[in-house]
């Protein structure tokens, strides 16, 4: 799992109805707090702040790393999400991937 760091861009794995953000919304880590918590800023296309939220690392994945200035590939994003799943769900994902591979 990629350790989130300051100024990384994250993508939500959950809905945040209290701040009008949904799964897939992107935000920027603006502060790293104790206990695996991060302050994340969500902005519009003009860079205006829409909301701030304190999130645990289980609620998002890193999709852009500030340190390396690189976006994660689709494969890397999938690995990040799969890491959070229980073993039974991981097996279901594997079976589905096999099905997709066979169908091509």
How buried is 61 (Cβ within 10 angstroms: 0-12 exposed, 13-18 middle, 19+ buried)? buried
pLDDT attached to residue 22: 96
pLDDT attached to residue 103: 85
Q: If we measure between CA atoms, which residue out of 94, 89, 80, 95 comes closest to residue 13?
A: 80
The predicted model scores a pTM of 0.89
- The full set of domain ranges for the chain reads 9-103
| Tokens representing residue 13 in the block | 């794995």
Q: For the chain, which ranges sit under pLDDT 50?
A: none
Distance between CA atoms of 46 and 59, rounded to whole angstroms?
Answer: 25
pLDDT attached to residue 1: 81
Distance between CA atoms of 30 and 6, rounded to whole angstroms?
Answer: 6
Beta-carbon contacts of 50 under 8 Å, excluding residues fewer than 6 positions away, are: 19, 20, 21, 42, 43, 44
């Amino acid at each position: 799992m990629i350790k989130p760091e300051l100024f990384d861009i994250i993508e939500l794995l959950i809905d945040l109805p209290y701040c009008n953000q949904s799964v897939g919304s992107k935000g920027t880590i603006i502060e790293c707090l104790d206990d695996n918590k991060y302050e994340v800023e969500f902005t519009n296309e003009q860079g205006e702040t829409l909301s701030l939220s304190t999130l645990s690392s289980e609620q998002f994945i890193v999709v852009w790393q500030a340190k390396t200035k690189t976006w994660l590939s689709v494969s890397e994003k999938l690995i990040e999400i799969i890491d959070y799943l229980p073993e039974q769900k991981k097996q279901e994902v594997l079976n589905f991937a096999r099905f997709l591979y066979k169908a091509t």
